[in-house]
């Protein structure tokens, strides 16, 4: 791993200067964000792919205007071993000078589908300013990350001037919300331009709108389809019920076995730990999640360990007879899709084997179980001792006026594991502009404007501080 001289703390004078530069640009950058939100770039086959091209072209134009990169281009890569191109991404590169660190700045410009229009209080793709927040699909996840990179680089250029020597590569992905199918090929195809000492992934959030955070742990994921069969054809439930087990009953028994009585995961041998110690009372969880009054929490250990560093299992889909067309019939087969989140310390393949072994051991009545192909993403735990982490943490504290904390995320960002594989010597910093009220992936997604401004200042300070470092 590349090492650099011990970074110095951000001076109050530099923090004040950068803050003023960002404030002066802020209205323009908010306008840039609103323009991007209006472009319905969704990387799902059911949506118009031309919008992703429009989005990529708009972002390329914004970074071209900075006039700092040797090149800014729109690039695609093949999906897996196919001849099909993935969604358009933006790639830019500026070499480091005089041994300074090189940063890779990542974000994504594609967004989630909006969902039902009636679930939104404002139009999903018309950015709306309310109560200090901008509402709209992608306003937080992750077009705010794109604009944060843009503003930080503009501030770096203005403040550093001719002393701008830190290297910067830019990778704005176009298919993160659709599974990053061409991601690995993109990294391999453009490895030379993407090589970096530190990678900033601007796709996460902060502890609160006032307290910044670096995301240091992410759970991995295993998605496992399962089919259960007990009969070779459907039967009349009155003629054979009570003696012949139907597939739905067998599936229900299997799914029920996946959790202990307290709701914790019953699959043996999975990694778990207590995780970070941050204040998160039960009432806050209830409000953030919308848990109904009287419904109990599940699992054991601290609340944050349960969502960050312990495994969880959710049944995310089931195929049985729909209620609307239910008849007195015993079904010969029933299916489900199981989503299992795994903690740092586990690997998807090993965890999937443990899940399948548990299911087979708990299959009732001699029912026949078939497993579909599983998908997996590795968990992540960051290096919190390196120079880049120190630079980022100090910059966040200076920008927000509150010391940065370390937090985890219960969800998964599988591509981060691919970054660590392709660039094993790079330190990875997971940052972002979201907060508990951002509602990424949900209706009424939004970004808090003060948090967005502070995130821009923090990234600029991080790059400026790194611009002063020499290799150790």
Q: What is the 3-state secondary structure (H, E, C) of 189-209?
A: HCHHHHCCCEEEEEEEECCCC
CA torsion 211-10-30-135 (nearest 10°) is -10
Establish whether the linkage from the previous residue to 142 is cis, with ω within 30° of 0: yes
Q: Which residues are catalytic?
A: 110, 176
Helices (H), 277-431: 282-289, 303-308, 348-361, 387-400, 415-422
Is 167 strand, coil or helix? Answer: strand
The distance from CA 95 to its chain's CA centroid, rounded to whole angstroms, is 28
Going by the DSSP 8-state scheme, the letter that residue 466 receives in this structure is: H
Tokens representing residue 429 in the block: 């910093």
Pick from 154, 190, 193, 181: which is nearest to 66 by CA?
154
CA distance 22 to 464: 14
- List, as one string, the DSSP characters of 214-276: EEEEE-EEEEEEEEEE--SS-EEHHHHTTTS--HHHHHHHHHHTTB-TTS-B--TT-------
CA distance 469 to 472: 9
CA distance 255 to 424: 38
- List, as one string, the DSSP characters of 384-422: SSSHHHHHHHHHHHHHHSS--EEEEESS--THHHHHHHH
Q: Are 416 and 218 in contact (CB under 8 A)?
A: yes
Where are the strands (E) in 285-332, listed by range?
312-319, 329-330
CA distance 220 to 109: 23
Q: Are 64 and 90 in contact (CB under 8 A)?
A: no
Pick from 95, 234, 187: which is nearest to 416 by CA?
187
Cβ-Cβ contacts under 8 Å for 208 (sequence gap 6 or more): 435, 436
Going by the DSSP 8-state scheme, the letter that residue 327 receives in this structure is: -
């Amino acid at each position: 791993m590349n090492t650099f001289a011990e970074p110095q703390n951000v001076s109050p004078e530099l923090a004040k200067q950068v803050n003023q530069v960002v404030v002066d640009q802020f209205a323009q950058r908010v306008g840039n964000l609103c323009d991007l939100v209006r472009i319905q770039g969704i990387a799902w086959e059911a949506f118009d792919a031309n919008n992703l091209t429009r989005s990529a072209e708009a972002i390329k134009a914004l970074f071209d205007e900075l006039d700092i990169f040797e090149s800014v281009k729109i690039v695609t890569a093949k999906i897996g071993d196919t001849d099909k191109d993935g969604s358009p991404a933006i790639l830019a590169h500026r070499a480091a000078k005089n041994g300074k660190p090189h940063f890779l700045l990542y974000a994504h410009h594609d967004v989630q589908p909006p969902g039902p229009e009636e679930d939104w209080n404002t139009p999903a793709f018309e950015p709306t300013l309310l109560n200090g927040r901008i509402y709209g699909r992608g306003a937080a996840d992750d077009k705010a990350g794109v604009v944060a990179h843009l503003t930080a680089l503009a501030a770096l250029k203005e403040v550093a001037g001719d002393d701008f020597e830190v290297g910067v590569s830019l990778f704005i992905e176009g298919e993160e919300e659709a599974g990053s199918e061409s991601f690995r090929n993109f990294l391999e195809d453009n490895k030379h331009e993407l090589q970096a000492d530190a990678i900033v992934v601007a796709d996460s959030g902060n502890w609160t709108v006032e307290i910044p955070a670096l995301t240091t742990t992410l759970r991995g994921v295993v998605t496992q389809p399962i089919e259960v069969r007990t009969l070779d054809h459907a039967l009349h439930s009155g003629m054979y019920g009570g003696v012949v087990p139907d597939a739905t009953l067998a599936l229900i028994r299997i799914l029920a076995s996946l959790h202990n009585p307290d709701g914790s995961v019953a699959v043996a041998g999975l990694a778990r730990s207590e995780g970070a110690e941050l204040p998160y009372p039960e009432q806050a969880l209830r409000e953030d999640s919308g848990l109904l009054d009287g419904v109990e929490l599940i699992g054991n250990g601290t609340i944050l360990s349960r969502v960050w560093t312990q495994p969880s299992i959710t049944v995310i889909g089931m195929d049985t007879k729909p209620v609307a067309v239910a008849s007195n019939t015993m079904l010969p087969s029933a299916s489900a899709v199981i989503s299992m989140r795994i903690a740092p310390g586990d690997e998807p393949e090993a965890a999937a084997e443990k899940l399948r072994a548990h299911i087979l051991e708990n299959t009732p009545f001699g029912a026949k179980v078939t497993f579909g192909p599983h998908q997996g993403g590795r968990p992540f735990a960051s290096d919190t001792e390196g120079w880049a982490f120190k630079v980022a943490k100090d910059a966040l504290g200076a920008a927000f006026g509150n010391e940065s904390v370390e937090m985890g995320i219960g969800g998964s960002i599988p591509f981060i594991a691919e970054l660590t594989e392709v660039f094993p010597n790079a330190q990875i910093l997971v940052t972002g502009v979201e907060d508990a009220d951002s509602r990424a992936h949900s209706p009424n997604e939004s970004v808090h404007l003060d948090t967005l401004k502070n995130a821009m200042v923090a990234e600029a300070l991080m790059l400026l501080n790194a611009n002063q470092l020499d290799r150790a």
